[in-house]
Structure 1
Amino acid sequence: MAGSDYSRTLLEVIPDARDGLTRTERIILYVLHETQKELKGRNVPTAMLYGRVLEYVDMSEADLHLYLDRLGVKGDGM
């Protein structure tokens, strides 16, 4: 694994000291917020969120659900 790949991996799994969120958690919350604004406050379907999160982070559907559970976000069960 190249040095920059290793650094990027560490940044994705180590929580930030400011708020305790990992890079991946921050991306999920950002994408969720932006999509809610786009949908004028309506609930965001998990499948839609998953598709948009994949533009930033490579993860499985199961991983997304784990992150959503950890963040306390209620999903639709996809």
Structure 2
Amino acid sequence: MNNALPDARDGLTRTERLVLYLIHDIQKERNGRNVPTVMLYGRVLEYVDMSEAELHVYLDRLGVRGDGTE
């Protein structure tokens, strides 16, 4: 399975979908609070081998913005 090909249903790649799922999951654990990027990066690495810079590219593409407080 190619992780770079977008799904026909919603246009997300497998990796983009994983990132969004993990953000949602961590937010639930943190009672709705913002997700620190370093925490997200650690979780993403459990599934996909990528650099921190690559994660930021995915976050930018998905429109996920941090407020810099965590």
TM-score, normalising length: structure 2: 0.92
User: 1:58 and 1:25 mapped to 2: Cα distance?
Assistant: 13
In 2, the alpha carbon distance for the partners of 1:35 and 1:62 equals 20
State yes or no: 1:59 paired with 2:50: yes
Unaligned runs of 5+ in 1: 1-7
Task: Decide which structure has the larger Cα Rg and report it.
Answer: 1
Answer yes or no: is 1:49 the counterpart of 2:49: no
Distance in 2 (alpha carbons) for counterparts of 1:36 and 1:42: 6
Matching residue of 1:68: 59
Structure 1 residue runs of 4 or more that deviate by more than 4 Å after TM superposition: none
Cα distance per residue 1:10-55 (max 9 Å; x no partner): 2x00000000000000000000000000000000000000001110
- Give the share of equivalent positions with the same residue, in percent: 72
Aligned length: 68
What root-mean-square deviation, in Å, do the aligned CA atoms of Structure 1 and Structure 2 show? 1.3
Higher percent of residues as helix:
1
